[in-house]
Amino acid sequence: MEEAIPHSESGRLDRTARGKKGGRPRARARETARMPKAGTPAVKAERQPVKTPRAIHAATQQTPRAAKQAAQRAKQAARVAQKTARTAGRALVNTVKGCIAAIKSLAAAVAAGGGLALFIVLLICLIALVAGSAFGIFFSAEPTGKGIALKQAVQTLNEEYYRQLKGIEATIPHDRVEYISADDSVSIHWEDVLAVFAADMAADEHGQQVVALDDAQLEQLRAVLADMHQISHSTRTVEHEEEIITTDEEGSKTVEWVTVSETILEIEVAHKTTDEMATAYGFTPRQNEQLTLLEAPQYDALWMELLGGYVSGGGQIIDPDSDWVGTGIFAWPLPQSFTITSPFGYRQDPFTGEWSYHSGTDIAAPQGTPILAAADGTVTIANGTDPWGGSYGYHVKIDHGGGMETLYAHCSSICVTPAQQVQQGEVIGYVGSTGNSTGDHLHFEVWENGKRTNALDYYVYFFHIKKGL
């Protein structure tokens, strides 16, 4: 019940052709037909039908009190819309929440019979203000009936990306695979990719909408992904001593140590930062401004919620009732002992049936079981945007200081963000089967001074003796 690390084609991912405008490199070749500029309403209010005498008579029958209430609701809704519009470009989370609040207020006012055409116009302007800018990416999670929804686009590109990674294993002879990345993560940094894409598409002089992606925009998103996650590979050979045990016809065992050569396939993923991409794409001041807003740390949870890997909550402290007791700083990372299904080290791979290296300890547990921080520390990786996550799925890594780190993989969802401080026993995510996994379990790793070690070396197993037994 464990992941097999994915592999890819060699070299860099293909990039689409780039055009130039004004002598500055661009992220894509523009289409001939221009989309509406940012801030332009995506749709127009429908022309209201001429009221009949009967309708006019019915409207005049409203009591002065009801008319006054409707007017008050209308004025209140207009204030909400105006306030939301002013703050849209400065605080995205508040904007989205404000949009929802404004929509509810408008609906209530319309239900009360006040100024239907006015509210429709206000509503259109409110949504267009956000949807017609780089922030429109936050409105693209679900299908709209037109174009490609963001989740669908991300899923498509994830499958393509990891299909390429797996291609290396099929073409390059090796005994085991190791991934190399400057930040110890080969996950796709979708929050960065989407921020660059949105700023590039929606915040320039052409102002294309990014709420529903068309085929051309999907191709541009594919190009940004390739530019920001460049892949290379190499092989190296190492030797280690291996114990060989043979048994003769009389049952006597003979132990022999032999030197074994092992070919390691190294796959390196080079992540480019958003600043590097802004320079490479020649972003304008307006594009840089919106990119800076989109990549602000306070929006980390919003990005993960958008792509489905984050749930609010967490934070509660649970004292595990486990037979595994830590010998140092660590406590058990689950509320109970559960069953260890795959230990650290060499084991029979559940996918290939061959003996291979396993980088952690697998603990089977029901889906949704809380995952607990093994010790106090700082979250360094909180992948809630890439469901494959370099085979780890949604996962969390925590730095405990003193060279000690822990990693928690295959989560159904996580509930922490990068740089967050956590306490021992704090809920940081929930058990699942994302990434390369055969069933619900926690893949738990302990790192010491940058190297994976056997997690069980830091625990002692005790049987709980119940009273009366």
Residue 63 clears pLDDT 70, i.e. is over it: no
In a domain, 303, yes or no: no
Is the pLDDT at 2 greater than 50? The verdict is no
Dihedral sign for Cα atoms in the order 380, 382, 387, 391: positive
- Judged against a pLDDT cut of 80, whether residue 301 lies above it is answered with yes
Q: What is the pLDDT of residue 69?
A: 57
Q: pLDDT digits over 167-221, tens only? A: 988 899 988 788 888 877 788 889 999 999 989 987 666 667 677 788 988 999 9
- The reply to whether 225 and 359 lie within a common domain is no
**pLDDT surpasses 90 at 25:** no
pLDDT-derived band at 455 (thresholds 50, 70, 90) equals very high
Give the model's pLDDT for residue 39: 40
The answer on 427 and 399 residing in a single domain is yes
* Pair (390, 413) in one structural domain: yes
pLDDT at res. 313 = 79
Coil, strand or helix at 116:
helix
Give the span between the Cα atoms of 405 and 377, in whole angstroms.
9
Tell me if residue 11 falls in helix, strand or coil. Answer: coil
| Closest to 293 in 3D by CA, of 224, 196, 381 | 196
Q: Contact 362/397 with Cβ under 8 angstroms?
A: no
C-alpha span between 413 and 157 (Å, rounded): 20
Q: Could you tell me which residue, 213 or 401, shows the higher pLDDT?
A: 401
Residues 284 and 376 in one domain: no
Is residue 319 a part of any domain in this protein? no
Q: At what angle do helices 92-111 and 64-87 cross, to 10 degrees?
A: 160
What does the pLDDT look like over 251-279, one tens digit per residue? 788 888 888 888 989 989 899 999 999 99
d(CA 68, CA 450): 69
Range of the domain at 428: 324-461
More confident position, 201 or 10: 201
pLDDT tens string 76-131: 554 544 444 444 434 444 444 445 444 445 445 444 444 444 444 444 445 445 54
- Domain of 328: which CATH number? 2.70.70.10
In a domain, 469, yes or no: no
Q: Tell me if 69 sits within 8 A of 115, measured CB to CB.
A: no
Residue 52: predicted pLDDT = 44
Most confident stretch, 200-204, 227-231, 293-297 = 227-231
pLDDT given at position 18? 35
Q: When comparing pLDDT for 225 and 124, which is higher? A: 225
User: Per mean pLDDT, which range of 101-105, 137-141, 359-363, 377-381 is the poorest?
Assistant: 101-105
Q: Which residue has the higher pLDDT, 1 or 214?
A: 214
Q: Is the pLDDT of residue 22 over 80?
A: no
The residue count of the chain comes to 469
Query: Residues 212, 85: one domain?
Result: no
Residue at 304 is within a domain: no
Give the pLDDT of residue 360: 87
Give the DSSP letter of residue 317: B
Q: Which amino acid is at 362?
A: D
Output the pLDDT for position 463.
60
- Sequential DSSP letters for 407-456: EEEEEEEE---TT-EE-TTBEEEEEB--SS-SSSEEEEEEEETTEEE-GG
Encoding tokens for residue 450?
A: 């940058």
Give the per-residue pLDDT at 257. Answer: 85
226, 13 in Cβ contact below 8 A? Answer: yes
In a domain, 278, yes or no: yes
| Predicted local distance difference test score (pLDDT) of residue 350 | 55
pLDDT of residue 352: 56
Number of domains, the chain: 3
CA neighbours closer than 13 Å in the CB half-sphere of residue 51: 10
Indicate whether 222 and 85 sit together in one domain.
no
Number of Cβ within 10 Å of residue 97's Cβ equals 12
Asked if residue 156 and residue 289 are part of one domain, the reply reads yes
Query: In terms of domains, do 210 and 286 share one?
Result: yes
279: number of Cβ within 10 Å: 13
Backbone angles phi, psi at 435, to 5 degrees: 80, -155
Contact 180, 266 (CB under 8 A): yes
Count CB-CB contacts under 10 A for residue 63: 8
Residue 280 scores a pLDDT above 90: yes
- Which of the four pLDDT bands, split at 50, 70 and 90, describes residue 283? very high
Domain final position from 295, 312, 334: 295
| pLDDT at res. 376 | 97
Q: Which helix (H) or strand (E) holds 346?
A: strand 345-348
Reference 413, options 272, 305, 300, 323; nearest CA is: 305
Q: Is it the case that residue 371 has pLDDT exceeding 70?
A: yes
pLDDT of residue 142: 60
Question: What is the pLDDT averaged over residues 298-312?
Answer: 85
pLDDT at site 157: 93
pLDDT of residue 252: 84
Mean pLDDT on 121-149 = 61
Q: Which residue has the higher pLDDT, 349 or 226?
A: 226
Amino acid in position 233 = H
**Contact, 44 vs 134, CB < 8 A?**
no
Q: Is residue 308 part of a domain?
A: no
Give 449's pLDDT tier (boundaries 50, 70, 90). very high
Same domain, 96 and 118: yes
d(Cα 40, Cα 208) in Å, to the nearest integer?
10
User: Same structural domain for residues 353 and 379?
Assistant: yes
**Rounded CA separation 155/164 (Å):** 14
Of 21-30, 225-234, 363-372, 449-458, which gets the smallest average pLDDT?
A: 21-30
Q: Distances in Å between the alpha carbon of 454 and those of 85, 88, 374, 397, 451?
A: 54, 49, 14, 16, 10
pLDDT mean across residues, the chain: 74
In-domain check, residue 406 = yes
Domain for residue 448, yes or no?
Answer: yes
Q: Tell me if 448 sits within 8 A of 404, measured CB to CB.
A: yes
**Looking at residue 148, what is its pLDDT?**
83
Instruction: Read off the tokens for 229.
Output: 């996650």
Q: Are strands 339-342 and 345-348 parallel, antiparallel or unpaired?
A: unpaired
Residues 399 and 450 in one domain: yes
* Mean pLDDT to the nearest integer, 310-337: 91
Specify the pLDDT at position 71. 54
- Do 150 and 290 have their domain in common? yes
